[in-house]
Amino acid sequence: MDDDGKLDAREFHFLNEVATGPRPLAHRLSASGRKWLKAIEGLRLMPYDDGTGQPVEEWRRGATIGYGHLILPAEWERFRNGIDQQWAESLLRFDLRDVEHSVVQRFRDCPCLQGRSERGLQQHEFDALVILAFNIGAGALNLSSVAAMICEAPDVRIPYTELESAWMAWRWSDGEELEGLIRRRAGEWRIFCSADYALPLPQVLSTSSRLAE
C-alpha cells in the first residue's frame, strides 16, 4: 500500500484474485444484499471503534475500517493512516468470501432444505444469513439457535419457539441492548422472510454483537 493509503497494483490484483476467484454465483451475496450490507455498515476510510463509532489512533479490540472490516493487531500499521474507497471495496469482497463459504457449508446439507436450491436456501434467505453472519461472526451463526432451527436439528436444545425470536436475540453488545442492532436484525429478518431489501429507517450504522447467545 502507498503512504496515502491507496492499494498498489500488486496488492489490488492479489486481493481481487482471492475475493473473486472461481465460485458459483449461487454461493455469493446478491447485488441487492451487497447494497443493503454496504448501506447498513457505512463506509469509514479511517480507523474507528466499532462499539462507539469514535476514531481510534492506536489498535484496540473492535478497531474497524472500510465496510465493517475488523482490524487485526498485525494489520494496524497497514491501516492506521486510512484507506481509499477502492481498498475498502476490496476488503469487503475479501471478508465476504469466508462468510459466504461458511453459510453455504452450514446449510447445504440440512435435510429439511434438500432439493430447494444448490445450497439449500433461496437467494434472499442466503443473503439474510450472510449479512447476519457478517455482523455476529460466521462461527457464532453456525452454533446459533438460528442455524439449529432452520436445519431442524433434532438433538439441539433451543430456548426459542419461533425463528424470529432466535434471530432478534442477537441485539445485545457487551450486555447492552442496542437500538441499532434491533433495527438491523429487523431488516435482516424482512429480507429472510419476504425478500424485502428496504433499509431500516432511520438508517443507522451497525454495532457488532459478538457475544454468544
Residue 199 carries which DSSP code?
P
Give the Cα-Cα-Cα angle 85, 91, 96 (nearest 5 degrees): 130
DSSP helix/strand/coil, 148: helix
Higher per-residue pLDDT: 203 or 77: 77
Helix (H) or strand (E) holding 100: helix 85-107
66 forms beta bridges with 44
Cis bond before residue 202 (omega within 30° of 0): yes
Specify the pTM.
Answer: 0.84
From residue 127, give the alpha-carbon distance in Å to each of 123, 130, 159, 191: 6, 5, 25, 8
* pLDDT tens for each residue of 10-49: 454 445 554 455 455 668 999 999 999 999 999 999 999 9
From residue 51, give the alpha-carbon distance in Å to each of 80, 195, 208: 18, 29, 7
